[in-house]
Amino acid sequence: MSTRNRRMTYRPLIGGIGIFNPAIRRIGTLGMIVHDPVSDKRWMISASHVLVPGPSDGDAASYEIFQPIDGMPPVAMQHPEMVDLNLDCAAALIEPTIQSEESIVEIPFLNSLAVAVEGVRVIKSGYATGVTEGIIRRVNGDQVEIESPPTYPVEYELSEQGDSGAIWLERSTCSPVAMHVRGNTTGVERAYAIRIQAVFNALDLPLV
């Protein structure tokens, strides 16, 4: 799929598409959608620097989230209690009138959460670079480091700005293992992510 398609309007909402907070003026990726069966609420997960301003940008507040851009009714509201700036993760409550599906663009299916393990092949579906593939090279606490496969061209782009919030999944099982938060600009192509269990625990969302 062309990455241009991820800039379009998606209804129902699904993971891997572009989302926008006009308070930040930055586009990121809707990582995945989680349904809480107890409260019957639906949440979109992404990086906190996609969904909310930083700690120096003002007092805690609720923020309207749009898909793909503003100029139309918001699709979700980000509330201050659903953010962890240290882990760089956040969730926004999807508006009741907006349809959503617990799926991700170009991912054949979505399995239950799994533990990030060094050496495992992973894929992600992000706004900027679409579906890319890497290998988990290091797991240090909640931090996960991913590199492009050694047989891939040195120019291979694992991620770019706009992919923040995308979910890394085991390639063989499509089980979410981490959430992408940033890449690098020099040296071997690397992506940096947060263990998915840490994201769910920080946001007090039900493990799926």
Q: How far is CA 123 from CA 2, 8, 82, 134, 168, in A?
A: 17, 22, 26, 6, 5
pLDDT digits (tens, 9 = 90+) for 156-165: 999 999 999 9
pLDDT at 7 over 90: no
pLDDT digits (tens, 9 = 90+) for 94-141: 999 999 999 999 999 999 999 999 999 999 999 999 999 999 999 999
One fold for 3-104 and 121-201: yes
Instruction: Write down the pTM of the prediction.
Output: 0.94
Question: Domain 121-201: which topology?
Answer: Thrombin, subunit H (2.40.10)
Question: Mean pLDDT throughout 55-65?
Answer: 69
pLDDT at 57 over 70: no
Does domain 3-104 fall under CATH 3.40.1350? My reply is: no
pLDDT at 11 over 50: yes
Q: Where are the domains of the chain?
A: 3-104, 121-201
Which pLDDT band, with edges at 50, 70 and 90, does 1 fall under? low
pLDDT digits (tens, 9 = 90+) for 164-207: 999 999 999 999 999 999 998 777 789 999 999 999 999 999 97
